[in-house]
Amino acid sequence: MEHADNQAINFRDQAELKEQIFKILDFYYPACIDHDKGGYINGFLNDGTINDTTTKHLVATNRYIYIFSIGAILGGPDWCLESARHGIRFLKAHHMDHDNNGYFFELDGTAVNDDRKMAYGHAFTLLASAIAYEAGIEEAKSILDNVYEVLETYFWDPEHALYKDEWDAGWNTVSSYRGQNPNMHLCEAMLTAYEATGEQKYLDRAYTLAESVTQKLLERSGGMIWENYTPDWQPDFEFNKNNTKDEFRPYGFVPGHQLEWSKLLMWLDRHRSEPWMLETSEDLFHKGWELGYDPKHGGILFALSPEREVIDDDKNYWVMAEAISAASLLAAKTDRTFYWDVYDQLCQYSSEYLMDHEHGGWYKLLNRQNKPYSNVKTKPPKTDYHPVAAYYQSILAFR
């Protein structure tokens, strides 16, 4: 599993980062294109064997659109743009609720399997349509405009300046649950939409979300960002208690999300720089790193209790990707040796344990000793969007 010449990869080199992105795309393409039902195939074993042809997850569909759009933006082969366009068509035809508007969370083939309207899923619809539009797919603009309106109409909570989480299909009942995770991804999507369109409303909303989460919510839970909240946005320390494996609503302080917000603040800083952004970004980075880093085996542990004790010591692929991204943006902004060193260290760790140098793609989950739990590389909603996005952000930062 270890790669003998991973020492040879220079992760500070933009051309090398670009090559790593295309190695990921080459793992998925062409096998992930579903010519039968449309959209994408979401289930792969480590060697590329397909183990699920029917699950179509809104988040996964959007993440595939994202990675292929990045391939097109970076000047990849024609199939990058065509593969992204293929996803946009499926999103519009099947994930979209043509009766009530909004986007269904999961399909079985083309039949609706989970008809909930989730802020998390809509965040990725905004992200995917924005980056597809930036890549040159004109028809993505109507989805971008539509999903923004859906978010405004149903999810936006002006009183708390954050997005609600979950509705039923007909927009009759809203869940009492509130979460930082969809708001974080909505901040990312708004920044992407701003860069794709130049429309000020997206930057304004990204700014508002960053302020709400990294200033207000951070204070409510004692200087780090908790995951789950009550309807009036107080930290809910009982919800999902000790269930750190929930894909969208994990329990705990997640070091990876402190690092992800650190990245988002530096991304926001590119467009509207205010002193609190760097200050908070560095604070979150140091907390995520110091509390999450595994000095014995390397990498970053997954979750901490309300008292900041480790309650999940697994190594999740996306956490390393987000940490790489945050370190690269902070290194580019401050040029401090510390961030460059962490960046190099995390890239090296990921190359050694997470990247599959034989088949391509990243392993999803390792135990504390860096051994994978299974031979499943990808199940919905994983498409290796996190490492692709991390390398892409690093390329932009190093420019």
Mean pLDDT of the chain: 97
Chain segment 293-342, per-residue pLDDT in tens: 999 999 999 999 999 999 999 999 999 999 999 999 999 999 999 999 99
190 in Cβ contact with 125 (< 8 Å)? no
CA distance 12 to 9: 9
**Res 198 pLDDT > 70:** yes
Q: Catalytic site residue 98? A: no
**Res 394 pLDDT > 50:** yes
What pLDDT shows up at residue 3? 43
pLDDT bucket at 7, cuts 50 / 70 / 90: low
Residue 343 burial (C-beta neighbours within 10 Å; 0-12, 13-18, 19+) = buried
- Contacts by 62-65 with C-beta closer than 8 Å and gap 24+? 62/87, 62/91, 62/121, 62/124, 62/125, 62/127, 62/128, 63/124, 63/128, 63/381, 63/382, 63/383, 63/385, 64/28, 64/32, 64/40, 64/383, 64/385, 65/91, 65/128, 65/129, 65/131, 65/132
From the list 257, 271, 297, 359, the catalytic residue is 257
Q: Please report how the helices 275-292 and 255-271 are oriented relative to each other, as an axis angle in degrees rounded to 10.
A: 160
Q: Catalytic site residue 95? A: no
CA distances from 300 to 92, 293, 385 (A): 38, 4, 19
Chain segment 65-110, per-residue pLDDT in tens: 999 999 999 999 999 999 999 999 999 999 999 999 999 999 999 9
pLDDT bucket at 2, cuts 50 / 70 / 90: very low
From the list 57, 86, 94, 386, the catalytic residue is 386
Dump the DSSP string for 356-386.
-TTT-SB--EE-TTS-BS-SEEE-TT-SSHH
What pLDDT shows up at residue 8? 80
> What Rg, from alpha-carbon coordinates, does the chain have?
19
What pLDDT shows up at residue 58? 98
**Res 5 pLDDT > 90:** no
Residue 107 burial (C-beta neighbours within 10 Å; 0-12, 13-18, 19+) = buried
